[in-house]
Structure 1
Amino acid sequence: MASVSSQPQFRYTQPPSKVLHLRNLPWECTEEELIELGKPFGKVVNTKCNVGANRNQAFIEFADLNQAIAMISYYASSSEPAQVRGKTVYLQYSNRQEIVNNKTTADVAGNVLLVTIEGTDARLVSIDVLHLVFSAFGFVHKITTFEKTAGFQALVQFSDTETASSAKNALDGRSIPRYLLPENMGPCTLRITYSAHTDLSVKFQSHRSRDYTNPYLPVAPSAIDASGQLSVGLDGKKLEPESNVLLASIENMQYAVTLDVLHMVFSAFGPVQKIAMFDKNGGLQALIQYPEITRDFSE
């Protein structure tokens, strides 16, 4: 699978913590390098290196909250980014208040995340909102939602462990952005662990389950909107609810279709963030991602 450009960072407001979460570090970054990075702002009392499937994330803990705030504030306003070995390092407050290096219950990383949505209105969080939140980190293959004794939960499948790990590290303990929720809904927090699943089984598209890799799955009656209508395409096929990611099937090719060709064609409708091409069932397909839902494809 090939891709062009990179997608924008997903931004969240996180309460200050003595522990900072660092991303995009050089592979196998050392404790000494982390201490050196934090030393100008205060005393680093603990570190956790080589976190994540790609071993390019870390945590540093300061002795005092104000020292962590000083580091975040400095790089938020500085024209020079934080760097280690020439690589730009991204900083944010961690959702933890201290680093625990002797965790015995660490779950095994995988490509499927188990997401528990906490909050009085958690069950009202739609599958489309979850798709928007997790798509910020890569192409989401499938989502299923369900209610258990633990509360309202979802399984979110990515193509690989690295992408799932990035989403987990960034979203675990965070609240779903308010602008994605109806005005009358209370806050909803995400608690994320890895699932033992590797490939979710989705039999049909519904308000509870989606397979974003297969546009030909039947649509369940529960997917019909409140007006009793079901969106229908020009060819009479039932459609997936609108999304900022399009699935294109290339048929009857008269010339070689490349990433550049697709980018040129689809850029006519707006800025293209990302394109991925792949072979499926002997045919060529592509996923085209825009920054927002576009409505200009009817002609």
Structure 2
Amino acid sequence: MSSTSGQPQFRYTQTPSKVLHLRNLPWECTEEELVELCKPFGKIVNTKCNVGANRNQAFVEFMDLNQAISMVSYYASSSDPAQVRGKTVYIQYSNRQEITNNKSSGDVAGNVLLVTIEGVEAGDVSIDVIHLVFSAFGFVHKIATFEKAAGFQALIQYTDAQTASTARNALDGRSIPRYLLPEHVTSCHLRISFSAHTDLNIKFQSHRSRDYTNPYLPVNPSAIEGTLQPTLGLDGKKKEPESNVLLASIENLQYAVTVDVLHKVFSTFGTVQKIAIFEKNGGMQALIQYPDVTTAAVAKGSLEGHCIYEGGYCT
């Protein structure tokens, strides 16, 4: 069996960098121990120790790219693994090209990512697109978006720091896929660091903030696009403007009605983009958003007055 058979293959597909990312180090590994491990391959110009939730990772920066490549290549083909205090250390190229030693929270792994989306205005990238991109790496608990001097930003909360790190390593410096963006956006780069937050405080579901763990969170009415105030018709009665968002009131609640149940019922008529459930005056209501008015009108006409469950339950 070749000595590389047990080694993870990513070493060969990663872009080389003179900064190496070391994992599985002994607890509170010192800078001296790192230098001792790496100096046979070249001159170390910078280190960052005790990184990550368990403080068992580090970054080491060589003076020259070829020195870093020689270290990765050596351990990728050696039958003796890299070791510190008898522990096997895993070595890969970092996705950064240099170590910046401002001790900002952006380098300490946490479960919340701060994402700056470069090259776009706030309205160009919807919260649903952000959710789609970041959900590829694990369950996204919450998202909050905002505009700062740095541009359009989002905070994305995962269950743990490990999931957040995986997402950061995969997406930092990458672009959101072209087909998810409006025509006029030519480039859109993600710049990702760790936030000092651990739990985002989200009060409303809206086009700016979401809590995917709490289906009962109230919807900020002004914040879901397309919910219009009813206008009066010629006869003085309320004339509802047609909209791509339906407001459903559910009566005679004998069974639990969840987002999933509503999704199943309303998806029969077309793609459901968003659902938000909330309680109002002791009853249950939901906002269901379709891509267009026509689909919403068909769904409204078909479902108005019908029951979700047989026996007249959940009308």
State whether TM-score is above 0.5.
yes
Q: Which residue of 1 aligns with 2:244?
A: 228
Q: Secondary structure at the match of 1:124?
A: coil
Q: Secondary structure at the match of 1:203?
A: coil
| Residues 31/40 of structure 1: CA separation in 2 closer, same or farther (3 Å cut) | same
Query: TM-score, with normalisation over the residues of structure 1?
Result: 0.56
Is this contact kept in 2: 1:138–1:163, CA < 8 A?
Answer: no
| Residues 207/99 of structure 1: CA separation in 2 closer, same or farther (3 Å cut) | closer
Q: Secondary structure at the match of 2:169?
A: helix
- Structure 1 residue 20, shift from structure 2 partner: 1.7
| Residues 61/121 of structure 1: CA separation in 2 closer, same or farther (3 Å cut) | same
Is this contact kept in 2: 1:21–1:91, CA < 8 A?
Answer: yes
Is this contact kept in 2: 1:127–1:208, CA < 8 A?
Answer: yes
Q: Secondary structure at the match of 1:157?
A: strand
Instruction: State the alpha-carbon separation in 2 of the partners of residues 59 and 215 from structure 1.
Output: 41
Instruction: State the alpha-carbon separation in 1 of the partners of residues 266 and 216 from structure 2.
Output: 12
Once the two structures are aligned, what percentage of the paired residues are identical?
Answer: 57
- Structure 1 residue 49, shift from structure 2 partner: 1.2
Q: Which residue of 2 aligns with 1:192?
A: 193
Is this contact kept in 2: 1:14–1:95, CA < 8 A?
Answer: no
Q: Which residue of 2 aligns with 1:49?
A: 49
User: C-alpha deviations, 1:14-59, integer Å up to 9, x for none?
Assistant: 7643222223433223334423443453333332211123202101
Q: Which residue of 2 aligns with 1:170?
A: 169
| Higher-Rg member (1/2) | 2
Instruction: State the alpha-carbon separation in 2 of the partners of residues 96 and 36 from structure 1.
Output: 22
Q: Which residue of 2 aligns with 1:95?
A: 96
Q: How does 1:22-37 map to 2 (within 5 A)?
A: 22-37=22-37
Instruction: State the alpha-carbon separation in 1 of the partners of residues 135 and 33 from structure 2.
Output: 32
Q: Which residue of 1 aligns with 2:113?
A: 113
Q: How does 1:249-268 map to 2 (within 5 A)?
A: none
Give 5+ residue unaligned stretches, structure 1.
1-8, 243-299
Is this contact kept in 2: 1:47–1:59, CA < 8 A?
Answer: yes
| Residues 38/166 of structure 1: CA separation in 2 closer, same or farther (3 Å cut) | same
The runs of at least 4 aligned residues of structure 1 exceeding 6 Å deviation read 76-81, 237-240
Give 5+ residue unaligned stretches, structure 2.
1-8, 228-242, 247-259, 275-315
- Structure 1 residue 190, shift from structure 2 partner: 1.2
| Residues 22/131 of structure 1: CA separation in 2 closer, same or farther (3 Å cut) | farther
Instruction: State the alpha-carbon separation in 2 of the partners of residues 133 and 22 from structure 1.
Output: 27
User: C-alpha deviations, 1:66-88, integer Å up to 9, x for none?
Assistant: 11233345566779875554445
Q: Which residue of 2 aligns with 1:286?
A: none
- The size of the alignment, in residue pairs, is 228
Is this contact kept in 2: 1:129–1:180, CA < 8 A?
Answer: no
Is this contact kept in 2: 1:121–1:188, CA < 8 A?
Answer: no
Instruction: State the alpha-carbon separation in 1 of the partners of residues 61 and 191 from structure 2.
Output: 23
Instruction: Name the aligned partner's letter for residue 47 of structure 1.
Output: T
User: C-alpha deviations, 1:149-178, integer Å up to 9, x for none?
Assistant: 321011222345x44773587369532465
Query: TM-score, with normalisation over the residues of structure 2?
Result: 0.53
Is this contact kept in 2: 1:122–1:188, CA < 8 A?
Answer: no
Q: Secondary structure at the match of 1:233?
A: helix
Is this contact kept in 2: 1:133–1:176, CA < 8 A?
Answer: no
Instruction: Name the aligned partner's letter for residue 233 of structure 1.
Output: H
Instruction: State the alpha-carbon separation in 1 of the partners of residues 14 and 60 from structure 2.
Output: 16
Q: Which residue of 1 aligns with 2:253?
A: none
Instruction: State the alpha-carbon separation in 1 of the partners of residues 265 and 26 from structure 2.
Output: 50
- Structure 1 residue 91, shift from structure 2 partner: 1.4
Q: Could you tell which deviates more after superposition, 230-239 or 31-40?
A: 230-239
Instruction: State the alpha-carbon separation in 1 of the partners of residues 141 and 179 from structure 2.
Output: 21
- Structure 1 residue 214, shift from structure 2 partner: 2.2
Q: Which residue of 2 aligns with 1:293?
A: none
Instruction: State the alpha-carbon separation in 2 of the partners of residues 223 and 81 from structure 1.
Output: 59
- Structure 1 residue 94, shift from structure 2 partner: 4.0
- Structure 1 residue 63, shift from structure 2 partner: 2.0
Is this contact kept in 1: 2:28–2:55, CA < 8 A?
Answer: yes
| Residues 37/199 of structure 1: CA separation in 2 closer, same or farther (3 Å cut) | same
User: Please, what is the CA RMSD of the aligned residues?
Assistant: 4.6
- Structure 1 residue 208, shift from structure 2 partner: 2.8
